């Protein structure tokens, strides 16, 4: 099985539905800004997770395609606002939304995506109880994403961030939308509460593993593959699991929080983190979360969709940008 092919096979349906559910209408520039990142592509892992969760509980794409689009709109809403907060001018190799349409325009584009996502999911024709549960899941995910982002910003001014705090932060900022995607797909696909909750845990655990390994990739991936400056997390002073482990073990990184560094300084910092075991520690921790997430799928009957969900979990720590 080629997991990328299986993702693409479903993502083409998501792409088509985005065009139908979020047409470019008046005011035209608002909707162009809202569609900008969506039209640029992306892996569509979250909406595909919605679809696969439904398939894994015996349903099909038609039952959840609108919900898959809603999840992708929320994801892109967070990307637009993240780029504003982080002052990142590039996204997916293109100028960020706030660069092309100003900060005010980008905020409005993000808010439009956020609002439209709930309109879309509320209009799905299925059991009203399951729709309400899905709306609750998505709204709770959005709240936790904001909480996680606040924690991440707060960490920048603190030197005493613990590993548990970091894991809580990424659980909210990153993994909660994977978790909600999996449970929404299961719920709208007609799953039992037990199966839906298991799929939520699958998404939550795999999402945490994804983010931990994303921090690893920031250090070990070449810049032309990474698509951004290598080692940017260190230079920005981000309290990743790698930085926390290193600081707890007395590792001194001259460029930590420096804001800038030469290529040779970054290479030296990576070597120090490799020698201290911090990178290996983060990699092993990411793999442990992925494995725990995969076991949550034991509740499901064997199927192609289940196999793909398992393969996506592995892809989280095997991928390159």
Range in 166-175, 192-201, 240-249 with the lowest mean pLDDT: 240-249
pLDDT in tens, 86-133: 888 888 889 999 999 999 999 999 999 999 999 999 999 999 999 999
Range of the domain at 183: 3-315
pLDDT of residue 321: 37
- Please say whether the beta carbons of 12 and 61 come within 8 A: no
CATH number of domain containing 290: 1.10.600.10
Collapsed DSSP state (helix, strand, coil) of residue 212: helix
CB atoms within 10 A of CB 275: 10
> Per the structure, how many domains does the chain have?
1
Q: Identify whether 52 is part of a domain.
A: yes
Is residue 321 one of the residues assigned to a domain? no
Q: Which comes out higher in pLDDT, residue 91 or 136?
A: 136
Q: Which of 218, 214, 279 is nearest to 249 (CA)?
A: 279
Q: What is the mean pLDDT of the chain?
A: 92
Give the pLDDT score at 320. 46
pTM over 0.75: yes
Question: In whole angstroms, what is the distance from residue 313 CA to residue 208 CA?
Answer: 11
Contact present, 219 and 230 (Cβ < 8 Å): yes
The answer to whether position 304 is within a domain reads yes
- Calpha distance 7→92 (Å, rounded): 18
Residue 29 lies in a domain: yes
- Measure the CA–CA gap between 38 and 212, rounded to whole angstroms: 25
> Is the per-residue pLDDT at 135 higher than 90?
yes
pLDDT tier, 277 (very low <50, low <70, confident <90, very high otherwise): very high
CB-CB neighbours of 218 under 10 Å: 19
Residue 320 located in a structural domain: no
Q: Is 264 a domain residue?
A: yes
In a domain, 50, yes or no: yes
Residue 271, domain member (yes or no): yes
């Amino acid at each position: 099985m080629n997991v990328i092919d299986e993702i693409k096979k479903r993502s083409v349906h998501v792409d088509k539905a985005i065009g139908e559910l979020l047409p470019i209408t008046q005011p035209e520039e608002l909707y162009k800004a809202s569609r900008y990142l969506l039209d640029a592509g992306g892996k569509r892992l979250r909406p595909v997770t919605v679809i696969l969760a439904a398939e894994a509980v015996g349903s099909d794409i038609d039952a959840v395609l609108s919900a898959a689009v809603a999840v992708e709109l929320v994801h892109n809403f967070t990307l637009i606002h993240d780029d504003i907060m982080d002052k990142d001018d590039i996204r997916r190799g293109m100028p960020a939304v706030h660069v092309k349409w100003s900060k005010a325009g980008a905020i409005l584009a993000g808010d439009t995506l956020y609002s439209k996502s709930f309109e879309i999911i509320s209009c799905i024709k299925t059991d009203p109880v399951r729709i309400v549960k899905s709306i609750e899941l998505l709204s709770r995910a959005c709240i936790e994403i904001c909480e996680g982002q606040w924690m991440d910003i707060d960490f920048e001014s603190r030197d005493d961030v613990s590993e548990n705090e970091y894991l809580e932060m990424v659980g909210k900022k990153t993994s909660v939308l994977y978790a909600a995607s999996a449970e929404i797909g299961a719920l709208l696909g007609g799953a039992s509460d037990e199966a839906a909750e298991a799929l939520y845990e699958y998404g939550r655990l795999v999402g945490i593993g994804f983010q931990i390994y994303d921090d690893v990739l920031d250090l070990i991936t070449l810049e032309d593959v990474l698509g951004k400056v290598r080692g940017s997390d260190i230079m920005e002073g981000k309290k990743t699991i790698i930085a926390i482990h290193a600081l707890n073990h007395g590792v001194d990184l001259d460029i930590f929080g420096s804001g800038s560094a030469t290529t040779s300084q970054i290479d030296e910092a990576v070597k120090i983190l490799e020698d201290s075991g911090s990178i290996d520690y983060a990699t092993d921790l990411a793999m442990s979360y992925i494995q725990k997430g995969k076991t949550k799928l034991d509740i499901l009957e064997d199927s192609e969709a289940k196999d793909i969900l398992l393969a996506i979990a592995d892809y989280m720590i095997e991928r390159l940008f």
